[in-house]
Amino acid sequence: MMRLWVVNIFLLIAHLSYAQLIPLGSTWRYYDLGMEPPNQSSTEWEDLNYDDSTWDTGPAELGYGDNDESTVIASSTLTGYFRHVFTAEDPGDFQSLNLSLTYDDGAVIYLNGIERWRVNMPGGNINYNTFASSTSSENAVATTTINNFLLTGENVLAVEVHQRSASSTDISFNFTMTGVPLPGVAVILRGPYLQKANDTSMVVRWRTNLPTVSMVDYGDSPVSLTQTAFDNVLKTEHILFIDSLEAQTKYFYQVKTTTDTLLFPDSSIYFKTYPIPGEETPLTAWILGDCGTGNNNARNVRNAYYNYIGDQHTDMVLFLGDNAYNDGTDTEYQTALFQNMYEHKLRNSVTWSCLGNHDGNSANSNTQTGPYYTIFTFPKEGECGGVASGTEAYYSYDFGNIHFLVLDSHESDRSVGGPMYDWCEEDLMNTMAKWIIAYWHHPAYSKGSHSSDTDTQLKQMRENFLPLFESHGVDLILSGHSHSYERTFLLNGHYGLSTTFNTATHTVGVTGSGSGHQEDDGAYYKAPTGPESGNGAVYITTGSAGKTESGPMNHPAMYYDAVSLGSCVLTVHEDTLNISYLRQTGAVDDHFTLIKDEDCVPGAACSDGDSCTVNDVFDNYCYCRGESNRRYVSNSENEGEGSLRDAISFACEGDTIFFLTSVSDTIRLDSQITVSQDIVINASVSNPIILSGQNITRLFYIEPTVQLTLTNLTLFGGNEPIDGGAILNDGILALVNTLFVQNMQGPIPKAWTNRSEVLVKQGNNYIRLE
């Protein structure tokens, strides 16, 4: 459904005609120590060369006292000092600069050390104690136009914001600066951003203020851009297709017209082609659901990822819909994605997206019209792998050995046998990829701000599409819509209401109902062949990259859920898929690992890495499992290989020790055996074993919390003057058909000393004194 906001077109025009040099909400250095920042030799705080590295940093709006600040500064300061360093690569493009200041109560603005504008401040010298001329209104806005004083390269905009009086309770500061291009000079207003990548081609998109040719120089280093792609048709919305590229290769680039460079090359401006379909290549993807608020929530989530990923390349950014609130208009997209938001990442990572309901407010999937379809270029002819869908509403693509399906859960027909379903089935049938990942906006499982038990789109996607996906072995499904994070166990076969979910029957494998953490419950496992082949998928609702919204958060299919801001990081390398849920704080609050070992054959031998198990084999889910070890005593010696003492010392937790028939004599111990982990010593009824302390030693000491179970044994001649008898128990002693004969504490008969009072007796246990 398309809703047009015709009334707001004037805003679009006003907002986008100029190049943003300092966007609203930018990050600033600030100084709030109740005094003017000290000079550095002769360099003053507003100068370009001033070292502000010790100042605090935070996004605008900065200030205190109004509870609307993104960054709260010290309320004790009368004057706040702010600096923002930015780069102007081609300042000659601008005839003037438009400044817009949000202030409370007065401010002085400097560009590269020289005062250029004074707002609500008295004339003459200004110092820390100078008060504003009058009380401003809350978050007053002032605008002006100044001459272009920009320097090529680094510039600094410095602002001091003053109180009206010492008793004033608030300071507010925010700022934007836009360059007004000279007549006839083209500048980039959006982008560049990357689309429709495959192993041999890339689409580079950008927007200019004036119609120009589309031209990109590219090459293997920023100083060697030896190749050029161009389109001579003059336009403002540039969609440049670059082909004949090498697979999995990094190309640096610059954006040009025939006469001017619009974006200069540097080490961060590059694109990297995808691997050849089918090749095993590591993947890193950043997943953003419902990110479109365009505010500091989204920026904090962004910053957390930037800190997390560092210099590592991100192969793709997946937008899970609702990319621009409230209606997915072009203006909203500008602030939600392209301006002071993800623009630096989108220059070198490929953007993919599915349609959200808010995007759908201004877009129509059946006619592929509206901003969403204008802004993005997706493969509808199967040109990035997969089957042609004929529409950008739903499509597929490959990254090496990973196949991605993108569905439209908002507006396209969701019925079984509908065009999207039929395409999906053919696409799944035809892909040979090892990993299959699907995403759409409305989650199949959620009890967040939307319920998958009641909401139409959510129910239909689960009931109609999940059986299809599961039958083709899809591994991971990503969605947004609910403004929270919810992550399931490894599921299979649940299409009903949340009340019908049963962990025992709807999770897959030994570890499927666990955390998926390799370090505790174990990773999730999927079998590539055998009776459980392809079974199991993890479903993630991650719709909190821009906002949070509470809900019941009680879907029983979830291993983990949280109402918190964050995004997900997906990595795939060979047999292993990892997801991390990254909070805006930088903390990783959830993660799991999914393993699909291509070499696994259920029933075949494997190694579970545990030396305490034997007969390790893959189960039907390709989880490698061994049996607890059975250790054998083969002789009646006091010590040495084959002895009982040796078997106990090499035993693992939970082991059972048996006696071979070759043990026909009494086992005579010279000293007691310490039992430090749970073991069972198990003789058979047909071959009863006698252990003797030879009246010189106790037989066993059991450490605290440890359980020793004795079965069908005779303990004979144990003697110890203190804590005497055959056994000293500080842990748990379990006796099954065990006979105690002639055990002593010095001269006094005593079968055992039990200090922990934990004693379990099963069957017939006798104590004989003779």
Partner 1 sequence: METGWLFYLLMATGYFLPHGDDHEQIVALTKAIAQFPDSTELYMERGELYLLHEDPKAALADFSTCVQSNLINSRVYLGLSQSYLYLNQPDSALTYIDIALQLDQTNLAALETKGLILTQLSRFCESAEIYSLLSSSAQQPSPSIYLDASKAWLKCPETNANGQASLILIEGMSKMGRLHVLEKELVRVYLHEKRYEEALEVQTEIIQHWESKSKPYYERAEIYLLLGDQKSAKDDLNQAILSIDQLPARKSSTPAMVTLRHKIISLLKQLEG
Q: How far is the CB of 429 from partner 1 (least distance, A)?
A: 5
Residue 140 and residue 100 in contact, taking contact as beta carbons nearer than 8 Å = no
User: Is residue 3 within the footprint of partner 1 (CB under 8 A)?
Assistant: yes
Whose tokens are 């209104």? That residue is: 137
User: Is residue 178 within the footprint of partner 1 (CB under 8 A)?
Assistant: no
User: Is residue 166 within the footprint of partner 1 (CB under 8 A)?
Assistant: no
Q: How far is the CB of 93 from partner 1 (least distance, A)?
A: 29
**Strand pairing of 538-542 and 476-479?**
parallel
Sign of the alpha-carbon torsion through 228, 229, 232, 233: negative
280 Rama class: left (phi>0) / alpha (psi -120 to 50) / beta: beta
Residues 385-424 that bind partner 1 (CB under 8 A): 387-393, 412-413, 418-420, 422-423
Q: How far is the CB of 412 from partner 1 (least distance, A)?
A: 7
Of 445, 406, 457, the C-alpha closest to 560 is: 445
Residues 278-297 that bind partner 1 (CB under 8 A): 292-295
Residues 324-353 that bind partner 1 (CB under 8 A): 325-326, 332, 335-336
Determine which residue in the list 127, 221, 366, 502 makes contact with partner 1, applying CB under 8 A.
366
Residues 524-583 that bind partner 1 (CB under 8 A): 528-530, 533-535, 546-547, 549
Cβ distance to partner 1 smaller for residue 265 or 328: 328
Q: How far is the CB of 531 from partner 1 (least distance, A)?
A: 9
User: Is residue 235 within the footprint of partner 1 (CB under 8 A)?
Assistant: no
Reduced to 3 states, what is the DSSP secondary structure of residue 503? helix
Residues 588-617 that bind partner 1 (CB under 8 A): 596, 598
User: Is residue 5 within the footprint of partner 1 (CB under 8 A)?
Assistant: yes
Supply angle C-alpha 408, 412, 416, rounded to 5: 100
Determine which residue in the list 77, 130, 361, 743 makes contact with partner 1, applying CB under 8 A.
361
Task: Give the DSSP H/E element, type plus range, for residue 513.
Answer: none
Q: What is the largest CA-CA distance in the chain?
A: 116
Cβ distance to partner 1 smaller for residue 533 or 564: 533
- Gap between the Cα atoms of 160 and 169, Å rounded: 17
Of 298, 359, 350, 299, the C-alpha closest to 323 is: 359
Cβ distance to partner 1 smaller for residue 315 or 332: 332
Reduced to 3 states, what is the DSSP secondary structure of residue 469? helix
Of the candidate spans 425-433, 673-681, 699-707, 743-751, the one that interacts with partner 1 by CB under 8 A turns out to be 425-433
Cβ distance to partner 1 smaller for residue 36 or 413: 413
Of the candidate spans 208-216, 220-228, 243-251, 465-473, the one that interacts with partner 1 by CB under 8 A turns out to be 465-473
Residue 364 and residue 2 in contact, taking contact as beta carbons nearer than 8 Å = yes
Reduced to 3 states, what is the DSSP secondary structure of residue 646? helix
Query: Judged by CB under 8 A, how many residues of this single chain contact partner 1?
Result: 67
733 - beta bridge partners? 708, 759
User: Is residue 685 within the footprint of partner 1 (CB under 8 A)?
Assistant: no
User: Is residue 7 within the footprint of partner 1 (CB under 8 A)?
Assistant: yes
- Gap between the Cα atoms of 702 and 690, Å rounded: 19
Reduced to 3 states, what is the DSSP secondary structure of residue 754? strand
- Gap between the Cα atoms of 611 and 626, Å rounded: 9
- Gap between the Cα atoms of 557 and 561, Å rounded: 10
Cβ distance to partner 1 smaller for residue 316 or 363: 363
Tokens of 444: 């199949």
Determine which residue in the list 214, 449, 629, 714 makes contact with partner 1, applying CB under 8 A.
449
The interface mask with partner 1, positions 706-745, x = CB under 8 A, is ----------------------------------------
User: Which value, to the nearest 10 degrees, does the dihedral of the CA atoms of residues 309, 310, 313, 314 take?
Assistant: 30
User: Is residue 470 within the footprint of partner 1 (CB under 8 A)?
Assistant: yes
Please report, as ranges, the residues that interact with partner 1 according to CB under 8 A. 1-5, 7-8, 292-295, 325-326, 332, 335-336, 357-358, 361, 364-369, 373, 380-381, 387-393, 412-413, 418-420, 422-423, 426, 428-430, 432, 434, 449, 456, 468, 470-473, 483, 528-530, 533-535, 546-547, 549, 596, 598
